[in-house]
C-alpha cells in the first residue's frame, strides 16, 4: 500500500510538469515546451522496457523474453498515442481558460483523467477475472468506435463549413 501511495504521488507530480512548462514558456513556445516534457516521459518509457529486455534471460523462463518483447512494443505504441493525445489536450486546455481559471481547470482535467484511469483499471480487472479477456477486448472497442464516429462527424462538419464559405 505504501508503495502505491509513493507511486501515485510521483505520477501526480510528474503530470504537473507539463502545465508548468506551458505556463513558464513564452506563448509562442508553449506547444514545444509541453512536447519536450512529454517526450522526456516517452524516453523514460522506452529506456525502462529496453533495460528489462536486456535482462530478460535473468528470469530463466524460455518464453519470458518473447512476452517481454511484445509488452515493450505494446507499451511503446500506447505511449506514443498517449503522448500525442496528452500534448494536444494540455495545449488546448491552456488556451481555453483565462489565467484566473487555469488552476481550477487543470485540477479538474487531471482529476477527470486520473479518476477515469483508476475506474477503468479496476473495472478491467473485475471484467477479466469474471468474464475473461474476450469481453474486455469487445468492451474496449466501444469507446474507440464512439470516438471514430465523433471524429468522422467533426471532419464532415468542417468540410461542409469550408465548402459553404468557398475556401
Segments making up each domain of the chain, as ranges: 2-96, 133-167
Look at 83-97, 104-118, 150-164 and tell me which has the smallest mean pLDDT: 83-97
CA pair distance 128, 134, nearest whole angstrom: 8
Q: Write the pLDDT tens digit of every residue in 115-138.
A: 988 888 888 888 888 988 888 788
Q: At what angle do helices 64-96 and 30-54 cross, to 10 degrees?
A: 170
Nearest to 17 by CA among 87, 78, 104: 87
Angle 99-131/133-165 helices, nearest 10 degrees?
140
Which pLDDT tens digit goes with each residue over 24-43? Answer: 888 888 888 888 888 877 77
User: Does pLDDT of 56 surpass 70?
Assistant: no
Which of 12-21, 59-68, 84-93, 158-167 has the lowest average pLDDT?
59-68
Global pTM value: 0.44
* Percent of the chain residues topping a pLDDT of 90: 5
pLDDT higher than 90, residue 89: no
Amino acid at each position: 500500500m505504501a508503495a502505491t501511495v509513493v507511486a501515485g504521488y510521483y505520477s501526480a507530480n510528474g503530470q504537473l510538469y507539463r502545465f508548468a512548462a506551458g505556463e513558464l514558456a513564452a506563448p509562442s513556445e508553449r506547444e514545444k515546451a509541453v512536447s519536450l516534457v512529454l517526450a522526456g516521459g516517452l524516453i523514460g518509457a522506452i529506456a525502462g522496457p529496453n533495460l528489462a529486455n536486456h535482462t530478460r534471460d535473468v528470469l530463466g523462463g524460455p518464453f519470458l523474453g518473447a512476452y517481454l518483447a511484445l509488452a515493450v512494443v505494446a507499451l511503446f505504441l500506447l505511449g506514443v498515442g498517449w503522448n500525442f493525445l496528452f500534448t494536444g489536450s494540455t495545449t488546448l486546455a491552456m488556451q481555453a481558460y483565462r489565467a484566473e481559471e487555469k488552476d481550477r481547470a487543470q485540477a479538474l482535467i487531471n482529476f477527470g483523467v486520473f479518476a477515469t484511469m483508476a475506474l477503468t483499471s479496476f473495472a478491467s480487472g473485475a471484467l477479466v477475472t469474471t468474464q475473461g479477456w474476450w469481453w474486455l477486448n469487445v468492451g474496449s472497442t466501444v469507446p474507440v468506435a464512439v470516438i471514430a464516429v465523433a471524429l468522422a462527424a467533426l471532419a464532415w462538419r468542417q468540410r461542409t463549413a469550408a465548402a459553404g464559405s468557398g475556401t
